[in-house]
Structure 1
Amino acid sequence: MGTSITFKRPDGGDATGYLALSGRGDGPGLVVIQEWWGLSDQIKATCDRFALAGFTALAPDLYQGTIVPYHDAEAAAQEMQSLDFQAATSQDVGGAAQFLERNGAPVGLTGFCMGGAITVIGAATIPGLSACVAFYGLPPDGVIRPEQIDVPLQGHFANRDDWCTPETVDAFEAKLKEAGRGYEFFRYDADHAFANEQRVSVHDRAAAELAWDRAVAFLGQHLMA
């Protein structure tokens, strides 16, 4: 349904990604950020699904073509650790947002796992966004300050997550409350990456569909109003 494209970063360099067009010419834009596995078929299919829901979805390829097999968590961790999160957010994700802004429609941001963490960084640092939705990912302490977030933020987290742990989510939520930021967090009795249909060992269809419905409604409220 979608296609691979090249777009400009704010620094003038080139970035690549997967673009799925909505059926609406004036449909809002949505940047979709990959898991730590890379720009996988799962993320591309998620872009396609967002396009069917009325969004023009663009997933920047943060690993520049590298896709890690699901069984190799060690390699995925190495790829993630070698990524400059700040540059990826400001340049690749920021460039994708600028590309989607060209038709004048609102732009949102969503991401999964590592992409969830980058979504929160983007919520604090990328200007002009209208809504952000993070799935089971938060940035490490000190990367951003919760008071920097001035865009509506929704989060979906797993109660059996050993990476983005419930304790981490609780601590970040407390800081958002203290800073008076607008957000809503949902928690599911599921494992990390419960929305990834390709990972049958952790996929939870009921939780995934509930999170999807909530995310689409939230994005529609803020991007399609």
Structure 2
Amino acid sequence: MSMIDYAAPAGPASGYLSVPEGDGPWPGVVVVQDIMGMTTDIRRISDRFAANGYLALTPALYGRGPKVGCVVTTMRSLMTGKGTAVDDIIAARDHLVADPRCTGKVGIVGFCMGGGFTLLLAPRGIFDAAAPNYGVLPRNASQHLSALRSSCPMVASLGAKDHLLPGAAEKVEAALAEGDVPRDVKEYPEVGHSFMNDWGFPRPVPTLERVVGYNYSEPEAEDAWRRIFAFFDEHLGPK
């Protein structure tokens, strides 16, 4: 497990590559970070995919300059559906496809902001499966959701107490159903935003938890992981 550089339209991009044990080939997964960046948690998530037989690459979306500026340009890329962050994510997919250790099938998984990028890119015909977790929707949410009718197969996990995304599970399910997209959409009733992200500080920021509905919860997180691996095994296999 190590940081690598890979080719991208704006010049070399950096990312964290997690490689399974053995010889492969394996399906690929692009892991898209949350707003916090290249944290220990997101690297642990990448490593978890490798431990389950996936060649995983996590683009460092804040790796092209000062962090504040990178956050702004990354969020702008999410809102507009284009720009360096989108290009770097797609280039990560292309890097995996070109790797002889990859089967050529690649999924995408994201959390919070990364879940938004996952929803954005799932209908573009470049990924074989998608797993947006409490994915933040852009300003043109209706247009964004409408595009999901042509999405790749999707397993989505959301929390009913997520005040950032009221009713999102129902909206995502309806859009996917309209396109008859293979799907597994689940809303967990007792959790809020970021319930799968374990940043290592217990019930960290009371104001954030109260306003956003943040809380890491292992039972729901582990159930979501079970569903993701079952879904990816079905749509990205064999490993």
Q: TM-score, normalised by structure 1?
A: 0.85
Cα distance in 2 for residues equivalent to 1:164 and 1:77: 21
Cα distance in 2 for residues equivalent to 1:136 and 1:76: 22
Q: How does 1:87-102 map to 2 (within 5 A)?
A: 87-88=83-84, 90-102=86-98
Query: Cα distance 1:77–1:169, how it changes in 2: closer, same or farther (>3 A)?
Result: farther
Task: Quote the residue 1:185 is aligned against.
Answer: 185
* Aligned-pair CA distance for 1:83: 4.0
* Aligned-pair CA distance for 1:168: 2.6
Q: How does 1:97-116 map to 2 (within 5 A)?
A: 97-102=93-98, 103=100, 104-105=102-103, 106-116=105-115
Task: Quote the residue 2:211 is aligned against.
Answer: none
Cα distance in 2 for residues equivalent to 1:50 and 1:173: 25
Indicate yes or no: 2:220 matched with 1:204: no
Query: Cα distance 1:117–1:88, how it changes in 2: closer, same or farther (>3 A)?
Result: farther
Task: Quote the residue 1:72 is aligned against.
Answer: none
Partner SS, residue 42 of structure 1: helix
Task: Quote the residue 1:147 is aligned against.
Answer: 149
Q: How does 1:48-197 map to 2 (within 5 A)?
A: 48-64=47-63, 81-84=75-78, 85-88=81-84, 90-102=86-98, 103=100, 104-105=102-103, 106-127=105-126, 129-140=127-138, 141=141, 142-143=143-144, 145-149=147-151, 151-165=152-166, 167-188=167-188, 189-197=190-198
RMSD over aligned CA atoms reads: 2.4
* Aligned-pair CA distance for 1:211: 0.6
* CA offset digits 1:19-38 (Å, max 9, x no partner): 01111421111100000111
* Aligned-pair CA distance for 1:184: 1.4
Cα distance in 2 for residues equivalent to 1:147 and 1:89: 24
Cα distance in 2 for residues equivalent to 1:160 and 1:78: 27
Cα distance in 2 for residues equivalent to 1:33 and 1:5: 15
Partner SS, residue 63 of structure 1: coil
Cα distance in 1 for residues equivalent to 2:10 and 2:70: 28
Residue identity in the other structure for 1:169: A
* CA offset digits 1:164-211 (Å, max 9, x no partner): 22x133123222222322221011121210111125321101001111
Cα distance in 2 for residues equivalent to 1:160 and 1:77: 26
Aligned length: 214
**Alpha carbons 2:28, 2:106 under 8 Å: kept:** yes
**Alpha carbons 1:36, 1:76 under 8 Å: kept:** no
Task: Quote the residue 2:237 is aligned against.
Answer: 224
Indicate yes or no: 2:26 matched with 1:20: no
Structure 1, gaps ≥5 residues long: 69-74
* Aligned-pair CA distance for 1:123: 0.8
Cα distance in 1 for residues equivalent to 2:13 and 2:72: 21
Residue identity in the other structure for 2:186: F
* Aligned-pair CA distance for 1:153: 0.6
* Aligned-pair CA distance for 1:62: 1.2
Partner SS, residue 133 of structure 1: strand
**Kindly, what percent of the aligned residue pairs are identical?**
29
